[in-house]
Structure 1
Amino acid sequence: MSKPILQTIATFRASLLRIAPAKMLLLGYLSYMLIGWALLSMPFAQEVAVSALDTLFIATSAVSTTGLVTVDPGGSFTFAGEVIILLLIQIGGLGYMTIGSFTVLAVQQRISGLRTHAVKHAFNLPDDIKPAVFLRAVILFTVLCEALGATALYFIFVNNGVEDALWSAIFHAVSAFCTAGFSLFSTSFEAFRADAGLNIVISVLSLLGAMGFLIVVDSWRTLTGQTSHLGFTSKVIVRVTLWFLLIGTLIVGLADSTIAALPASERWLAAFFQTMTASTTVGFNTHPFSSLTPAVLMIIFFLMIFGASPAGTGGGLKTTAFAALVGLVRSTLKGRERIRFFKREVPIVKLQSATAGLAFYCTLLLIAMFILLLTETGAAFEVVMFEVISAMGTVGLSMGITGDLSDIGKIVIIVLMTAGRVGILTFGIAFAAADETREEEQDNELIL
């Protein structure tokens, strides 16, 4: 290579090293969303004409693994378009840094310090877990889960007479594991409400994806004797998730009149699935959420905000943030200086992240609610709030207004889905980091 080209490459690399990890993650996801938008806009990808804003909405929803749709994916896009959507879901579920870094790792047997730093930031990895080992485990675990899930779903769909059972099985297995909630069925899985097999397969895939790859790596290290027990973060994730599922299922099954009216064989299955889909942020449903009572919707709101876990495919504020906030409140009420949860002291940095994340989440929620209540005048308050929380948590559940959103409403939801996938706090840090860079440059100019 010529010297000017080498200098250009060196300059570009140096500029990347100066970019804050949060900003790098945001730019990375935005680039995939734009690529997906361009591909879905091609004539070969569309079964019927889809507007530019709707294709951007679908591309963002796929990369962010949200599942909110303004048009029916199964009826609006060709097979090629569905494949593009599936690839975007896979990239979004694994994380764009995982895909790129694993490719580099496979070719060069090592990853750069830049990628190592970005991966640790993206997945919030503890210091004792090496990013290279983590990436290999993530890819292997993902392929294994999706393959087994697709195989199980194939036989279930064949027995139910579903057309293109193989493709439907692959699509829904990937969508479930990546907690994307995209479905080729116009009513999600409402037709399968009483099918225990499908409910179990989808729930297992969703829980494995939402609880996080950190659990997988940590469990493997424990089984192979590298550590004597699960790490504190993994224990928190497992315990909080199980409590969410148990308490949520009981409340939904007892408090909602529409689910309580179902036959006994369907009642608790439906209650568990609706709890699971909100908690994991997968976004599938076997029962229409628009029929749920307001009291149960409050529980669903909570699960959509805190249900998923770090280093997983779900969105929201995460179970670990909930644990830190609970520890903070309990210690404050008891007058203790040390913040503890499950008999372990919570590091101050975790408390700062949890409280800052909650504050920024509430700020985004208020701004989005204000705008949507102005633009979507025909929608009820709780319906709008459900849509906003679903988008920020990359849940994908809706009470029926997504397809009727105005252009401004769609743009607001697109921004919220992006923030949810990058991470609510990371989304804010990305802009704060940019502001700090500009301030430093201005300070330097003043000094000079």
Structure 2
Amino acid sequence: MTRALRGLRLWLGSLSTPRLLFLGYGVYMLAGWALLSLPLAQSEPVRLIDSLFIAVSAVSTTGLVSIDPGGAFNLFGEIVILALIQAGGLGYMTLGSIAALALKRKLSLAQQHAAIGAFGLPADFDLRRFLREIGAFVLCVEAAGAVLLWILFARAGVENALWAGIFHSVSAFCTAGFSLFANSLEDFRADTAVNLVVAALAYLGAIGFLVFADVWENVRGRRRALGFVSRVILVTTLAFSVFGAVLLYVLEPSITALPGDERALAAFFQAMTATTTVGFNTVPMGPLAVGSVMVMYLLMMFGASPAGTGGGLKSTTLATLVALVFATLRGRTQVRVLGHAVPPERIQLAAASISFYVLVLFVAVFGLVWVEDAPLEALAFEAISAIGTVGLSTGVTGGLTDAGKAAIITLMFMGRVGVLTFGLALAANVRRGAGERAGPDDLIY
């Protein structure tokens, strides 16, 4: 047994980061599938394809559901789902790495490379200190969120408010969007406190642990200004949130029909939920106007940030591509973001990410159109939500065929691992450390 474990550690240490992430998330999803398939976890019989769908959605922190998890699973099943969300939100092997550091053990080579790849960190980053800070940060934020939501849910008359507060706090911070309520947070559309607590948790998770570490260094006086990557993430996130909220406030009929304060709150929350990829909703997604759906497409594609809990394409990818377009239009060869020159290899990585993303999305939507009896815009919304690990749905998820569910499962897996990382993991020849080198001020994706 000892020899077998030693051989397994050596084999894991020899894998490239893309394959480590592919394998790690896959193992989490299969383990969750096995547990959720047990009658012990179910309040009512659940088909295998649906338990797999929920497991993949939880680990990928997507939040799309083919069945109502609050009704289909009992307390044990909900605890399994919450554990999968936490593991998926923190990233492959991060929980194990934090535990190892807490026990003062040395991190294995596989743990180091997996953590760096999962969070998109520069190769020379102080990983041990970063992981310790993550552990403390996550514990404090989720605990504070759970207490606040417990109080608010109890005030609203929610049954078992403590468990609901814990579940929704973790789900919000990990940008998973899983809810114990059948209609997500629609019953709390006018509850400003619940909206703001959920939004704060989602933003803290989505903007990324890298930004938190940077801010913490400034608070402690070790740095005098935010780093370049942190500034790009914060500016892009703010721009997306404001852009989306204003358009939804002005153009979306189901929101413009609401009273003044409620209208502003609903517009803000829906822009936030797409930008952070948290996936909760306070207004139904099905009746959205086509123009609003197009706005949500854009927000879901590029909302998440590197080293955060969201998946899909990153805000830094969009920032790089926008800077590339402006540089080309102005006849310049050097691409600059917020006055900082972007190295050619970073531009290549951003271009490869968006190109592969568009190709995969086209194939997925094309396949869904052939096997599903639903409007194109609804299927495209579902696919973008899945690959962006957002979790918003226009209501077609539960009615998908098994083939459609399998396609969405694949997209959620790709979104969690990273679309380009998924491709690299399947490539025949991937060098050890490929795509891992980045300077401290390089944009990461």
TM-score greater than 0.5 by the shorter chain: yes
- 1:414 is matched with 409
Match of 2:29 among 21, 28, 33: 33
- 1:402 is matched with 397
Contact 1:110 1:132 in 2 (8 A): no
Contact 1:23 1:433 in 2 (8 A): no
* Residue 435 of structure 1: how far off its partner (Å): 7.2
* Alpha-carbon displacement from aligned partner over 1:40-63 (angstroms, at most 9, x marks no partner): 111110000000110000000000
Alignment of 1:102-141 (within 5 A): 102-127=98-123, 129-141=125-137
AA at the equivalent of 1:357: S
Q: Distance in 1 between matches of 2:310 and 2:430?
A: 28
Match of 1:383 among 369, 372, 378: 378
Q: Distance in 1 between matches of 2:117 and 2:397?
A: 32
- 2:436 is matched with none
* Alpha-carbon displacement from aligned partner over 1:119-164 (angstroms, at most 9, x marks no partner): 1122111345311111111111111111111111111111111000
- Does 2:270 correspond to 1:274? yes
- 2:181 is matched with 185
* Residue 19 of structure 1: how far off its partner (Å): 1.0
- Does 2:82 correspond to 1:65? no
Q: Secondary structure at the match of 1:66?
A: coil
Give the count of matched residue pairs: 432
Match of 1:92 among 80, 88, 91: 88
* Residue 429 of structure 1: how far off its partner (Å): 1.0
Alignment of 1:162-177 (within 5 A): 162-177=158-173
- Does 2:242 correspond to 1:242? no
* Residue 349 of structure 1: how far off its partner (Å): 2.3
- Does 2:184 correspond to 1:158? no
Backbone CA RMSD of aligned residues: 1.4
Residues 66 and 323 of structure 1, relative CA distance in 2, 3 Å threshold: same
% identical aligned pairs: 51
Q: Distance in 1 between matches of 2:131 and 2:243?
A: 34
Residues 37 and 8 of structure 1, relative CA distance in 2, 3 Å threshold: closer
* Alpha-carbon displacement from aligned partner over 1:166-215 (angstroms, at most 9, x marks no partner): 00000000000000000010000111100000000000000000000111
Structure number with larger C-alpha Rg: 1
* Residue 248 of structure 1: how far off its partner (Å): 1.0
Match of 1:327 among 311, 318, 323: 323
- Does 2:425 correspond to 1:430? yes
Q: Distance in 2 between matches of 1:164 and 1:65?
A: 23
AA at the equivalent of 1:87: A
AA at the equivalent of 1:417: M
AA at the equivalent of 2:138: T
* Residue 350 of structure 1: how far off its partner (Å): 1.8
Contact 1:60 1:417 in 2 (8 A): yes
* Residue 228 of structure 1: how far off its partner (Å): 2.1
- 2:440 is matched with none
- 1:444 is matched with none
* Residue 108 of structure 1: how far off its partner (Å): 3.4
- 2:212 is matched with 216
AA at the equivalent of 2:179: S
- 1:392 is matched with 387
AA at the equivalent of 1:403: G
Q: TM-score, normalised by structure 1?
A: 0.94
Q: Distance in 1 between matches of 2:315 and 2:420?
A: 15
- 1:442 is matched with none
* Residue 337 of structure 1: how far off its partner (Å): 1.0
Match of 2:302 among 301, 306, 321: 306
Contact 1:179 1:206 in 2 (8 A): yes
Match of 1:358 among 354, 360, 375: 354
Residues 436 and 112 of structure 1, relative CA distance in 2, 3 Å threshold: closer
AA at the equivalent of 2:117: H
Q: TM-score, normalised by structure 2?
A: 0.95
Contact 1:192 1:198 in 2 (8 A): yes
Contact 2:424 2:430 in 1 (8 A): no
* Residue 26 of structure 1: how far off its partner (Å): 0.8
* Alpha-carbon displacement from aligned partner over 1:328-383 (angstroms, at most 9, x marks no partner): 1111111111110111101222211111010110111011111110100x200000
For structure 1, the 5+ residue unaligned runs are 438-448
Contact 1:181 1:284 in 2 (8 A): yes
Contact 1:256 1:296 in 2 (8 A): yes
- 2:368 is matched with 372
Higher helix share: 1
- Does 2:5 correspond to 1:16? no
Q: Distance in 2 between matches of 1:161 and 1:10?
A: 53
- 2:339 is matched with 343
* Residue 9 of structure 1: how far off its partner (Å): 4.6
* Residue 7 of structure 1: how far off its partner (Å): 5.4
Q: Distance in 2 between matches of 1:133 and 1:170?
A: 27
Q: Distance in 2 between matches of 1:215 and 1:394?
A: 21
